[in-house]
Structure 1
Amino acid sequence: MRKILLVVIAVTFYSNQVLADHPPKKMMRNIKAFSQLSVTGKLDSFDVNYFAYGETPNGETTSIADKKFDKILADKMNLAAIIIRDGDIIYERYASKREIDSNTPLTGMSMSKTAISASIGALLCGGKIRTLDDPARDYSPFLANTPYSDVSIRNILQMNSGVSMLGRSDEKKFNQKARGVQKFSGKADVRDAIKFYTSAAREAGTKMNYHSSDSLALSVLVEDIVKKPLAQYFQKTLYSQFSESGFMQWTADKSGTTVSYSDLTMTARDWANFGQFLLKQKKSDTCLGKFFNEGVSKSLNTGKKNGSRYGYQSWVFDVHSQPTMVLQGHGGQFLVLDEKTNTVLLTISVNENYKAGNLFSNIGKIAELLPQ
């Protein structure tokens, strides 16, 4: 596989909110922007850096029709849906009218966060991290001089660092600074974004707060351990084990540090393959599987009405009355790893409001509706 580092490429976001809401037309424009980034090289006015690996897919397209699954997943909001059961793809559909097919690179939004935790798990299994209860300062000279210094890796993984203020009102600033867009155009800097916090908001481990700052801290942590960006480590160590297309893309700041809270872009099949890879690790109870199983068993209550909990940079929902690891992204990106039925469900959407129900509120129930 050929590896390419592409830098100083223009990327656009169509609102000052920068992916802060879910209108379908805006989501579609942003998804298209990411999918075309490595082809056009220009996506409007903001110069950002990114890593791209392999060639943009252009092979024969694939799909597997099944009307019984269409009843749930052939929704006007859906761009791509894949079901893997017992290791085989049994359903695959794409929104062809929107020019989406199996070759289209699709951003996973916050599903990207689980690529971070998989990398942390690989470092733990490889002996590069002694224990998740070690403080960040033991591994990162940069984080040692931030409010993350005394925070355990486990608390950062679970969005429980205590560094960010409760809520997400200031998150837009972090995202824009990390990517280098809007008022931070040309000044993309993950470390400077982390430095926005000069002190912690509360004691670590006392209350989880879903915020991009913890994911950015983990990107720096991985980079300081392996002396290469998170994107490079993930691609070589993990992506290479499940990739079908060979193409992967992830944005970076001006120094090459991975913008980790979002932006990982792969084909839908590779996203589904990622889910299948993780499901296999969990069911086989490998070292990496034990890591994610622990994330599920020790997941934190989010206080949300949907009953969700938070594990290691991924969510936990009850599916078939069993705590189930779920990757979740803005607007309707979901990977459900249903161990009871040995099924992986992928949805990539422009909005979460399906006829079958709101994905954020009902993803567990929707997974249960899939015909056996």
Structure 2
Amino acid sequence: MLKRIAVNAITMTLALAWNAPAQALPLPLLPHIPFYETDTMSPSTHPEPLLGEPERGTHPDATYVFNGQSHTVGEFLDRSSTRGFLVLRDNRILDERYFGGYSADSRFNSWSVGKSITAAAVGIAISEGKIASVEDPVTEYVPELAASGYDGVRIRDVLHMASGIAYDESTNTDPTKGSTNTMIRMVAGISLPDQSRAMARERPAGTQWNYASMDSFVLGWIVSKVTGVPLSSYVRDRIWGPAGMASQALVGHDYADNTVGFCCYHATVRDFARFGLLYLHGGEVGGRQVVPREWIDESTHSAEPYLQPHQLIPARPNASENAFGYGYQWWLGDGDRGDYAAVGFLGQFIYVSPKDGIVIVKTSEDLNSTDHMAEALQAFRALADAAR
């Protein structure tokens, strides 16, 4: 019964979304309500403090130019169906607001922001000696993939979304493609390991960026195999508690108890911000190294030409994604600013600017989120500049 309800919910949401106005979703709560089974991650016994409260009714704003036109951040937040918004300078709150009935206690779906959390778990597993190197093939740790398109593919290439598998995630509204198809099949009872084993190779690994949520599931599967616990349990014990998260979170899994990994971490805006702070502070919280500093540096830099800003999708030079490069499941800002972001479907963001000491979280219900990716980068940078 639960499977049928979940499939019907996805199908109805997609059908309505195709006919919905661009500015808002027709069913505003569905994007952030789990339509799959979940595990629970308990909060830390020592939450990382976020200091200060913005004066009621006052919100910092900034102006930026995008595609030759001037905009304000406030206008962009409205146009992109923002539901939660938080700006931190280090641990101090500069701005916090919620829209559409949400609040600081609301849990939001990470969508693909969760890929960056899963990648952090990979880095921790390497530091613990459970994974020897990103140069190892995934099949060394998950031999079940030996007959699939992942056979012999390096973990590094999977982290870079360059596994070479045939996976078309160029649209989220076609139920036969990409992560939409993966999720529909998952809630219909086809496990994520079974789906990953069916992946075929389309091109040599390590030669071309191709966004594929299945790559992120495989990363989480590796972590689960080498640690002997579900990915959600490992994230709870190695990240959620040690990083000082203040609220309970939910993590989606399939009907065989495999953590989704490429999405579906349900948490508050403040706890997503604490994850951003973890990276801003070099992986350290309260004097404890939670994520290795070397891993954070590797994750947020790439040397490969095809991973550089304006090179991700060479066939579509005007694609919004091309404003970024790509690291280990993080989107890298262009230019020499050194900023980066975790980005999710429908406009979820954790933006980090180490140069400015700024973390910005934006949760949304934005049907034009892909088109807004490049503009969001400029809006966040404008706020970072204004906060100096």
Length-normalised TM-score, structure 1: 0.81
Listed as ranges, the matches of 1:268-347 within 5 Å are: 268-281=269-282, 288-298=292-302, 300-301=307-308, 302-303=312-313, 305=318, 306-318=322-334, 321-347=336-362
- Residues 1:363 and 2:363 aligned together: no
Q: Deviations over 1:207-242 (max 9, x none)?
A: 110011211211211111111211111111101123
Offset of 1:19 from its aligned partner? 8.2
Listed as ranges, the matches of 1:1-372 within 5 Å are: 11=6, 12-13=9-10, 14-16=12-14, 24-26=24-26, 28-34=28-34, 48-54=36-42, 64=54, 65=56, 66-69=58-61, 72-73=73-74, 75-76=77-78, 77-95=81-99, 98-165=100-167, 168=170, 172-173=176-177, 175=179, 178-179=182-183, 181=184, 185-197=187-199, 199-281=200-282, 288-298=292-302, 300-301=307-308, 302-303=312-313, 305=318, 306-318=322-334, 321-351=336-366, 359-370=372-383, 371-372=386-387
Q: Which moved more, 1:153-162 or 1:343-352?
A: 343-352
Structure 2, gaps ≥5 residues long: 44-51, 63-71
Moved over 6 A (4+): 17-22
Which letter does structure 2 place at the counterpart of 1:87? N
Q: Which moved more, 1:343-352 or 1:252-261?
A: 343-352
Cα pair distance change 1:167/1:248, threshold 3 Å: closer
Offset of 1:332 from its aligned partner? 1.4
CA contact (8 A) 1:122 1:288 kept: yes
Cα pair distance change 1:27/1:334, threshold 3 Å: farther
Which letter does structure 2 place at the counterpart of 1:30? L
CA RMSD of aligned residues (A): 3.2
Count of aligned pairs:
340
Structure 1, gaps ≥5 residues long: 1-6, 35-42, 56-61
Q: Deviations over 1:87-136 (max 9, x none)?
A: 222211111xx210000001111101101100001111111111111111
Offset of 1:277 from its aligned partner? 0.9
- 1:166 and 1:366 map into 2 onto residues whose CA distance is 29
CA contact (8 A) 2:90 2:277 kept: no
CA contact (8 A) 2:41 2:232 kept: no
SS of aligned partner of 1:272: helix
SS of aligned partner of 2:261: coil
Q: Deviations over 1:306-339 (max 9, x none)?
A: 43111111100137x3232211111211111101
Offset of 1:193 from its aligned partner? 1.3
**Identity of aligned pairs, percent?**
21
Length-normalised TM-score, structure 2: 0.78
SS of aligned partner of 2:133: coil
CA contact (8 A) 2:82 2:363 kept: yes
Aligned to 1:59: none
SS of aligned partner of 2:242: helix
- 2:282 and 2:212 map into 1 onto residues whose CA distance is 27
